[in-house]
Amino acid sequence: MENQDNVLEVRNLEINFDTFAGTVKAIRNVSFDLKKGETLAIVGESGSGKSVTTRAIMGLLARNAKVANGTIEYQDRDLLQLSERDMEQIRGVDIAEIFQDPMTSLDPTMKIGRQIAEPLMIHKNMKKDQAEAEALKMMKLVGITNAEDRINDYPHQFSGGMRQRIVIAIALINYPDILIADEPTTALDVTIQAQILHLMKELQTKINTSIIFITHDLGVVAGMADRVAVMYAGQIVEYGTVDEIFYDPKHPYTWGLLNSMPTLDTKENTLPSIPGTPPDLLEPPVGDAFAARNQYALKIDTQKQPPFFKVSDTHSAATWLLDPRAPKVTPPATILERQKKYAAMHEKAVAEAKRAEQEQHRSGEEEG
């Protein structure tokens, strides 16, 4: 039965890519829900399938990609069954995306006011003057100082952090139900990153949008997400609230990700890392895809894929270690230490971001 709180439901999604080497099974039986007004983070190493999953939601898969199975339900419609014309009515209006690098998302030859206004002119047939007035409001909402003076500037006249705010303004101008943020702070320094994350949370409350936040950095997730889906080799391997994933992780892959998070106290020259490399998805392994890299692997891991074991009503993980017959294994002691340190670091970063935001707002008012 469908949950009325869900704004999006992905079920049994399978996506293959046809390549010269053969068929790559990139997404393998992925299911998740997105609730109204929440932030769901999808985390995992590069190549785990995070971006491919969201490209499927946006209807922006590469030509050599084929959806082999599954549904993506939005407003009682399966997005995978819609024509390109129907998807154009949804994309950028109901479901919008912020991409990694703002410079590749912005047109260097077009004034930013026009770029922010364009989705209103295209999707809502708004007149240019009215659309640009709305763009000016959105520029102020995303914290661009002296917006009246800057509306006619070009992208190269803005800093990286400001360009990312412009990209966010473009994504939010139609007040979408769902915002997909694909590593939106990767190219920014830590202080600006904290400001952008704080801004996104603030805007989410104001316009009541749901966010799918993609990142390889579990640290970013701590203050951003409500729930977390951990992806590995095209599958979700653990699913839970942010506190469950941070303070009670159950999958050895999640342990590895948490353990490789740096903190200010990290004194070693090299961070702990997960040994080995992800499997070749031309021929996915028979059992648990993580078995070859898992120091806690059991014999059954190489023979049979683990089902999801329920930890709580909101938390489950696909690992044979949760089978009642499995030997008891405790996660590395360093994980809990890192979690505590990171929680303190994150609170400090958020406080600094808020302070910087207020100072920027004050200086903008003084200049105005």
Exposed, middle or buried by CB within 10 Å (0-12, 13-18, 19+), for 189? exposed
Q: Count the alpha carbons within 13 Å of 340 in the hemisphere toward its beta carbon.
A: 4
Can you list the pairs that 319-324 forms with residues at least 24 positions away whose Cβ atoms lie under 8 Å?
319/237, 319/238, 319/250, 319/251, 319/252, 319/288, 320/288, 321/250, 321/252, 321/296, 322/250
- Residues 114, 170: Cα–Cα separation, whole Å: 10
The whole-number mean pLDDT for each consecutive block of 10 residues of the chain, a chain of 368 residues, reads 78 98 97 96 94 95 96 96 95 90 85 96 93 95 92 94 92 94 81 82 90 87 90 97 90 90 63 88 96 96 97 97 93 69 65 70 56
pLDDT for 1: 36
Q: Is 130 part of a structural domain of the chain? A: no
Residue 62, token pair as written in the block: 């590469």
- Residues 224, 38: Cα–Cα separation, whole Å: 10
Q: Is 337 part of a structural domain of the chain? A: yes
Q: Which residues contact 42 (CB under 8 A, 6 or more apart)?
A: 32, 50, 53, 54, 212, 213, 214, 215, 228, 229, 231
Q: Are 176 and 95 in contact (CB under 8 A)?
A: yes
Q: What's at 149, amino acid-wise? A: D
Taking the mean position of all CA atoms in its chain, how far away is CA 271? Answer: 24
Q: Are 230 and 44 in contact (CB under 8 A)?
A: yes
The number of distinct structural domains making up the chain is: 1
DSSP alpha helix (H) spans, the chain: 50-58, 84-90, 102-105, 112-123, 128-141, 147-150, 160-172, 190-207, 218-221, 242-247, 252-259, 333-367
Residue 313, token pair as written in the block: 């009503």
Q: Is 9 part of a structural domain of the chain? A: yes
pTM of the model: 0.88
Residue 288, SS3? Answer: coil
pLDDT for 218: 79
Residue 154, token pair as written in the block: 């070009």
Q: Is 267 part of a structural domain of the chain? A: yes
Q: β-pairing, 309-310 with 210-215?
A: unpaired
Q: Are 34 and 40 in contact (CB under 8 A)?
A: yes
Residue 73, SS3? Answer: strand
pLDDT for 267: 62
- Residues 304, 291: Cα–Cα separation, whole Å: 11
Helices (H) and strands (E) in the chain, counts: 12, 12
Q: Is 148 part of a structural domain of the chain? A: no
Q: Is 162 part of a structural domain of the chain? A: no
- Residues 264, 276: Cα–Cα separation, whole Å: 26
Q: Output the domain CATH number for residue 195.
A: 3.40.50.300
From residue 225, give the alpha-carbon distance in Å to each of 54, 101, 151.
17, 21, 32
Residue 101, token pair as written in the block: 């690098």
Helix, strand, coil percentages in the chain from 3-state DSSP, rounded to 5: 40, 20, 40
- Residues 87, 55: Cα–Cα separation, whole Å: 12
Angle at alpha carbon of residue 148, lines to 147 and 151, rounded to 5°: 70
Q: Which domain holds residue 72?
A: 1-94+174-368
Q: Are 205 and 39 in contact (CB under 8 A)?
A: no
